[in-house]
Amino acid sequence: MLVNTKEMLLAAQREKSAVAAFNVFNLETVQAAVRAAELEKRPVIIALGERYFSTVDAEGFSAMVRAIAAKSEVPCALHLDHAYEKQSIVRAISCGFTSVMFDGSKYELEQNMALTLEIVELAHRSGVSVEAEIGSVSRGAFSDEEEGDGRLTDPAEAKRFVEETGVDFLAAAIGTVHGMYAGEPKIDLELLARIRSAVGVPLVLHGGSGTPDEIISKAVRTGICKVNVNTEVSLAAVAELVKFASSPNARQAHLSTVMAGLQDTMTPVMRKFVRLLGSAAE
Ligand SMILES: [Zn+2]
């Protein structure tokens, strides 16, 4: 069933687990994410980035996800990821997304707070919850996200930000990167613990891909309730596609078979994250 993202994350926070938010952009990626969640009997967040609005019809996508979620055996939420434009947020709210992320991380704190507050007031009028980001997640390898400056989140700023904007969940920059790590990941779990004690809302970790399982588990135990995953799933599907393309009969294959195969490739990669996030507190 489709549920409110905030309620889903508050439930995760109570049981000290986290929900995977998969970046998706077509039917196969959505079905793989929902199937992975159903196999683990865990909730899931279907996340579409604003960047895909140029190629993915937002209204059509929302209708598709809502129909799949309605039939699903597990709670599903529909989230707009990394939106920089107010008009994208208005569009997502109008067509049934259950939460939106306003990314004002490139602005100074005061301006980020003012812009975020405006979005929170707008979204809450429609019962839609809001994620915001302070600090800035860097871009690693194979990512298609915007470049961030890698500034880590300051706990005192996070406290003020949440109090003054009324944001529902907060993306904390603690050293993870969008995409894969070029070297050793340097994740500041001590900083995460300080952010956790400064703010009460569920915290979000961007850049789940390539982060060692043990670090993800510790981050969940320290207060992360939502982990965004994109690149690791994409890399697995593309690797499978490349392998398939070099096989002798590739040119005779039907596209439907190729797409179904990619869905089957993505599902276990997503399932691994769903299981890890659900079991971190045990
Ligand atoms: Zn992100």
pLDDT tens-digit readout, 118-130 = 999 999 999 999 9
Contacts of 267 (CB under 8 A, 6+ apart): 32, 35, 36, 39
Per-residue model confidence as pLDDT tens digits over 240-257 = 999 999 999 899 999 999
Compute the CA torsion angle 209, 56, 53, 137 (nearest 10 deg). Answer: 0
102 forms beta bridges with 83, 132
Closest CA to 119 of 136, 98, 104: 104
Provide the domain limits for residue 34: 5-279
Contacts of 73 (CB under 8 A, 6+ apart): 38, 41
pLDDT at position 175 is: 87
Active site residue 81: yes
C-alpha of residue 143 to centroid of ligand 1, in Å = 10
What CATH code is carried by the domain that includes residue 176?
A: 3.20.20.70
Would you say 234 and 31 are in contact if contact means Cβ atoms under 8 Å apart? no
**CA–CA distance, 44 with 20 (Å, rounded to integer):** 6
pLDDT at position 280 is: 64
Per the structure, how many domains does the chain have?
1
pLDDT at position 201 is: 97
C-alpha of residue 197 to centroid of ligand 1, in Å = 23
Please identify which of the residues 57, 81, 103, 188 carries the catalytic annotation.
81
C-alpha of residue 163 to centroid of ligand 1, in Å = 22
Terminal alpha carbon distance of the chain: 25
Q: Which residues of the chain have pLDDT under 50?
A: none
C-alpha of residue 173 to centroid of ligand 1, in Å = 10
pLDDT at position 147 is: 67
Residues around ligand 1, an ion, CB closer than 5 A = 206
C-alpha of residue 141 to centroid of ligand 1, in Å = 14
pLDDT at position 186 is: 82
**CA–CA distance, 273 with 87 (Å, rounded to integer):** 32
pLDDT at position 27 is: 97
Contacts of 94 (CB under 8 A, 6+ apart): none
pLDDT at position 140 is: 76
